[in-house]
Amino acid sequence: MRRALFLTVAIALATSGSSAHAATWSAPQSVSQPHTFAGPLLVSPRSDGRIVAAWPWQDNIGNDAIGGEAIASRPAGSTAFEPEAPALDGVAAISAYARDQTLSLAAQGLPTRDRSGYFVSRLRVSFDNGTARTLATAPVYHAPVLATAQTSTRALIAYIQPTKTSTGANRRIVRVIDRRNGAWTQPSTIAGTGRADQLAAAANARGDQVVAFARQGQVLARVRHAGHGWGSLRTLATSTTASQTTFTLSAAVDARGQVRVVWRRHVYRGATSLQTAAMLVGRSTFTTPQTLITDGASATFTIVQAPGGWAIATVETTAAGPRPTLHRTSGGSAFGPTAYAAPTQGGLRNATVAAGFDGTIAVAWIVPLPNQNGGGIARGAAIAPNTTAFGPVEDVSPAESVSSVRLAPTNNGITALWVGRPTTPTQTVIRAATRTP
pLDDT tens per residue, range 85-113? 999 999 999 999 998 999 999 999 999 99
The answer on pLDDT for 391 being more than 60 is yes
Cα separation, 236 vs 75, in Å, equals 40
| Cβ atoms of 218 and 194 closer than 8 Å | no
Task: Indicate whether 14 belongs to any domain.
Answer: yes
Task: Indicate whether 148 belongs to any domain.
Answer: no
Q: What per-residue confidence (pLDDT) applies to 7? A: 36
Residue 387's contacts (CB-CB under 8 Å, 6 or more residues apart) are none
Task: Indicate whether 21 belongs to any domain.
Answer: yes
Domain that holds residue 430: 7-64+296-437
Percent of the chain with pLDDT over 90: 84
Task: Indicate whether 272 belongs to any domain.
Answer: no
Cα separation, 336 vs 333, in Å, equals 10
Residues facing residue 45 across a β-bridge: 51
Task: Indicate whether 274 belongs to any domain.
Answer: no
Q: What per-residue confidence (pLDDT) applies to 331? A: 84
- Kindly write down the DSSP assignment for every residue of 187-209, as one continuous string: PEEEE-SSBEEEEEEEE-TTS-E
Domain count for the chain, please give it: 1
Mean pLDDT of the chain: 92
Sheet hosting strand 119-127, strand order edge to edge: 91-97, 101-113, 119-127, 133-138
Task: Indicate whether 138 belongs to any domain.
Answer: no
Task: Indicate whether 352 belongs to any domain.
Answer: yes
pLDDT tens per residue, range 336-380? 999 999 999 999 999 999 999 999 999 999 999 998 888 999 999
pLDDT tens per residue, range 37-86? 999 999 999 999 999 999 999 999 998 899 999 999 999 989 899 999 99
The answer on pLDDT for 20 being more than 90 is no
Other C-beta atoms closer than 10 Å to the C-beta of 41 total: 19
- Separate counts of helices (H) and strands (E) for the chain: 0, 34
Task: Indicate whether 341 belongs to any domain.
Answer: yes
Confidence of residue 242 (pLDDT cuts 50, 70, 90): low
